[in-house]
Amino acid sequence: MNNTTVVEQKPQFAIKSGLQQFLVFGSLILLVIFFSIASDNFFNFSNIIGILLSTAVIGVLALGSTFVIITGGIDLSVGTVMTLSAVMTGVFITIWGLPVPVGIVGGLLTGALCGFISGFSIARLGIPPFIATLAMMMIAKGLALVISEAKPIYFTDNEVFMEISLGSVLGDLIPGFDIPNAVLIFFIVAIFGSILLSKTIVGRYNFAIGSNEEATRLSGINVRNWKIVIYTVTGVFTGIAGILMASRLNTAHPSLGAGYELEAIAAVIIGGTSLSGGKGTILGTVIGALIMSVLTNGLRIMSVPQEWQTVVVGFVILLAVYADILRRRKS
Amino acid sequence: MRKGWMMAALVLVVFISACSSNGGSKSPSATTKSPGSEAPAKTEKLYVPVISKGFQHQFWQAVRIGAEKAAAELNVDITYEGTETESQVDKQLEMLQVALDKKPSAIGFAALDSQASIPYLKKAKDAGIPVIAFDSGVDSDIPLSTVATDNAVAAGVAADKMAELIGGDGEIAIIAHDQTSRTGIDRRDGFKNRIEEKYPNIKIVDIQYGGGDHLKSTDAAKAIMQAYPNLKGIFGTNEGSAIGVINAVMEAKAVGKVTIIGYDSGKAQIDAIKNGTMAGAISQNPVGIGYETVKAAVAAAKGETIKPAIDSGFVWYDKTNIDNEDVKAVLYE
């Protein structure tokens, strides 16, 4: 099997990204310590839950984006595809009156289909990822408005739906441990993503394509088909994010979500995944997403004006990418 | 094989064009002709493009209903379009430019930025096209009239209600929709100034901006509640901001502890007022804004004199009056 060359590369990545994750994790801890000292109201159970809850949607988007970024690609459509998935879930549940599980499957399939189309455009039609997903971003944005007739779709008649994000299965099991389901789902999706990336053939080919696409193709792997699979995986994650958002707001809002893709990409990059592909971990992305929301939350609690919050986040992204470049120079 | 793909692509193109011609009437920037107008726009019938600030909120859809109502009554053609978010100042200017190029009879314009549009408005003036500003004013005397809610006065009423509900002292906060638009500034400052002038025991501890995005407003409001555990009330300055505050208070299980006052309407706010989560809200009269804008534009196009400021009015609504007919008339779901 020619694949062995590909497989052998893996441990090397694991060591490098291990150091990287340590650094990223260290920054997260430093931030938490800083904000805890700066404000008495930062480090307590309800605020930590608040931070985790605000990480969930962007976090799941970032998890999905990790896959395509590792191939050396990009997915700019995740923000609006998330919105479209939410709207479709709303159509299934509120407008057609179908049961909640059907609506969830509908939302996931919407995400998967959009991902599939992006992947197909990239792998089969040869359109660069940036352009193909930019087009998908607009298509999804437009369709979300057309389908919903530019009106929000409410889930108010359906109490079960809101429980998806804001109920607490853990709180029911262990009294007082009221972690919202959205947070639980975020971590489950992360574990699932981590297994998919590090233990399965999808992940192995994902890294292979990202580190050397030509070599991967020459070793007999159908790169095109695997790319479609990977973009579809990202689409499914995006669908999950859409359902989480709709459930938390109890509304599918057709024009939310624009700009979320950039926050997701920022989280992935802060987490140490390289934009040039071939390198990255799910754990890194989880920490990257947490850093983003800890920063936003902490600066808000300190009552730092909003304008400055955005400036700070921008600098953090610069720092993270520069750190990545420094590490690569050393090795 | 290659032929197969090309056929597929062709089918797709045909499909898309078919879709767009069907779906066209539902698209946000659709041309709306008044009923009974078979004639193309080229006839002597007046044409008034109305450029709003978006359709993110139901508010803009309600303005559209009012504009269409006036168009039908006065037998004129209108188009109604708006930006996707309330921060796309540049896109709105393009829309304004395109509208000017069509040489309309008059223009209705809700400026996202009170300064940026001035060069375009000068072009309109030079071309002899009357401009009616609505919702937000412009820092210029070119618009013949501004149809708007006096947001500063309305937000002052919200401040009085807040003071009354929290007993005249304590900490409160504001979740505003933006720092640059006229409505954002007027509502924030109208509320703030009233509190500072009249209620020395009430302290506004924080003002955060959520851009009208529900999720971001939710997280911002939660962070404020976290930072100020004794917070007694939050004012949300538009629909998205107010819904964010409602979500945040519900998620933090602080219903009843934190008094919420909102702005505009929409189903989520109406439900929250009915079930007691929200104390009340200020509503503008969006249908009236759309209606008065088109009416003033038509009058201006015909050379009639119009008042420089047309107040479309506002109402305070809460549990006690939400079902009254006159209140219901200005609310939208």
Question: Cα A92 to the chain's mean position, in Å?
Answer: 24
Q: Does A57 touch chain B (CB under 8 A)?
A: yes
CA-nearest of A242, A247, A266, A245 to A108 is A242
Q: In the structure, how many helices (H) and strands (E) does chain A have? A: 15, 2
Please determine whether the domains at B47-148+286-313 and B151-283 fall in the same fold group of CATH.
yes
Query: Does A321 map to a domain?
Result: no
Query: Does A270 map to a domain?
Result: no
Neighbouring CB atoms inside 10 A of A231's CB total: 31
Domain that holds residue A96: 44-258
Which CATH homologous superfamily contains domain B151-283? Answer: Response regulator (3.40.50.2300)
Instruction: Name every residue in B having a CB less than 8 A away from some CB of A.
Output: 23, 26-28, 54-56, 58, 61, 84-85, 179, 205-206, 208-209, 213-215, 218-220, 222-224, 226-229, 243, 247, 251-252, 266-268, 271
What is the four-CA torsion angle of B125, B130, B132, B137, rounded to 10 degrees? 10
pLDDT of A8 strictly over 80: no
**Strand B145-148 to B131-134 pairing:** parallel
For residues B268 and B236, the answer to whether their CB atoms sit within 8 Å is: no
Residue A54: the pLDDT is 87
Residues B63-73 have pLDDT tens digits of: 988 999 999 99
pLDDT of A182 strictly over 80: yes
CA angle B132, B135, B136 (to 5 degrees): 85
Q: Which of residues 205-264 of A touch B (CB under 8 A)?
A: 245, 248-251, 253, 255-256, 258
Classify domain B47-148+286-313 by CATH number: 3.40.50.2300
Bridge partners, residue B49, by sequence: B79
A53–B251: do the CB atoms touch at under 8 Å? yes
A145–B56: do the CB atoms touch at under 8 Å? no
List, in order, residues 6 or more apart from B62 with CB less than 8 Å away: B286, B287, B290, B332
DSSP letter at B33 equals P
Tell me the CA distances in angstroms from A61 to A56, A109, A257, B37, one per residue in order: 9, 16, 11, 48
CA-nearest of A266, A54, A292, A283 to A187 is A283
Provide the CB-side half-sphere exposure for A40 (13 A, CA): 2
B chain contacts of residue A53, beta-carbon cutoff 8 Å: 251
* Domain map (residue ranges) of chain B: 47-148+286-313, 151-283
Query: Does A232 map to a domain?
Result: yes
Average of per-residue pLDDT across A23-52: 88
Q: Does A139 touch chain B (CB under 8 A)?
A: no
SS (H, E, C) A165-218: HHCCHHHHHCCCCCCCHHHHHHHHHHHHHHHHHHHCHHHHHHHHHHHCHHHHHH
**The residue type at A3:** N
Distance CA B296, CA B302 (A): 10
A300–B208: do the CB atoms touch at under 8 Å? yes
pLDDT by position in tens, chain B (length 333): 455 555 555 555 545 544 444 433 333 444 444 444 444 444 578 999 999 987 656 788 889 889 999 999 999 999 998 887 777 777 888 888 888 888 899 999 998 877 778 888 888 999 999 999 998 777 788 899 999 888 899 999 999 999 999 999 999 999 999 888 778 899 999 999 999 999 999 999 999 998 888 999 999 999 999 999 999 999 999 999 999 999 999 998 899 899 999 999 888 899 999 999 999 999 988 888 999 999 999 999 999 988 888 988 899 999 999 998 878 878 877
pTM over 0.90? The answer is no
Residues A278-300 have pLDDT tens digits of: 889 999 999 999 999 999 888 88
Residue A18: the pLDDT is 64
Query: Does A194 map to a domain?
Result: yes
Q: Which of residues 21-50 of A touch B (CB under 8 A)?
A: 39, 41-42, 46-47, 50
Bridge partners, residue A108, by sequence: none
Count of domains forming chain A: 1
Query: Does A290 map to a domain?
Result: no
